[in-house]
Amino acid sequence: MPTLVLLPGLACDERLWEAQLPALPSALDVRVSDVHMRHDRIEAMAATLLVEHPGPLILCGASMGGMIAMEAARQAPERVVGLALLGTNARPETPDMYKLRESAIELFERGEARDVIELNAGFAFHPTQAGDPALVRRYVELVLDAGAAQLVRQNRALMERPDARPHLSGLRCPVLVLCGDSDRLTPPECSREIAALMPHAELVWVAHCGHMLTMEKPEFVNTTLGPWLQRLVADA
């Protein structure tokens, strides 16, 4: 039976998946990885993941976690039996985003992380969910708990990330691509591109949802991800 590894997004931890954990197939050995907290580059994060979790893998990554999952599939395609990619991006960093991250890093290093995260938190959500103060506060505290040093290091890793697109067409495992239809941080065109490149990909849009799928629309994510995983378990 493959191991299911959940990969959180930028500056997030297992709390990103707290609504999903109880709904996952009981037959799977489920682990939440923290490789993004321990390495400086996406390639090293993926390599460590493969060492720490031997055998066949189902990788489920959100945003930055999806980038790590795609890189792990590039490094060891024969070991990845399923990929679930939530609100992620196979492209390298754009010049404009590179500059924005550089500016944010300067503020993080000056001790202004809370101001930056609170000011920009609304962009991570659909306008409806952005109007939920408790939800936005939960997200802000989740990110700030990582600390300024992690925010700097992980943003730099994203700035130097590899282009995942060249190897995607060679992957033969089942792939679930989930994207919020109103994602402003990883636009829907990025998920559409990933799904088009992969021969066994299923693309699912999450209505009235922004970037934080697992927090914004947990029930929809669960009722989509759960049956998809169950099919992989049945085929294992």
The predicted-structure confidence for 192-213, as pLDDT tens digits, reads as follows 999 999 999 999 999 999 999 9
Q: For residue 11, how far is the Cα from the chain centroid?
A: 11
The predicted-structure confidence for 19-32, as pLDDT tens digits, reads as follows 999 999 999 999 99
**Phi, psi (rounded to 5 degrees) for 154:** -70, -35
Which residues fall within 8 angstroms of residue 86, CB to CB, at 6 or more apart? 60, 61, 62, 63, 65, 66, 178, 179, 213, 214, 221
The predicted-structure confidence for 5-22, as pLDDT tens digits, reads as follows 999 999 999 999 999 999
Residue 236 scores a pLDDT above 80: no
Residue 181 scores a pLDDT above 80: yes
Which helix (H) or strand (E) segment is 174 a member of? none
Helix (H/G/I), strand (E/B), else coil: 172: coil
Where does the pLDDT of residue 235 fall: very low under 50, low under 70, confident under 90, or very high at 90 and above? Answer: confident
136 vs 44: CA distance, rounded Å: 31
Contact 21, 218 (CB under 8 A): no
How many of the other CB atoms lie within 10 Å of CB of 234?
9
The predicted-structure confidence for 68-102, as pLDDT tens digits, reads as follows 999 999 999 999 999 999 999 999 999 999 999 99
Ramachandran area for residue 107 (φ above 0: left; ψ -120 to 50: alpha; else beta)? alpha
Ramachandran area for residue 204 (φ above 0: left; ψ -120 to 50: alpha; else beta)? beta
Contact 107, 116 (CB under 8 A): yes
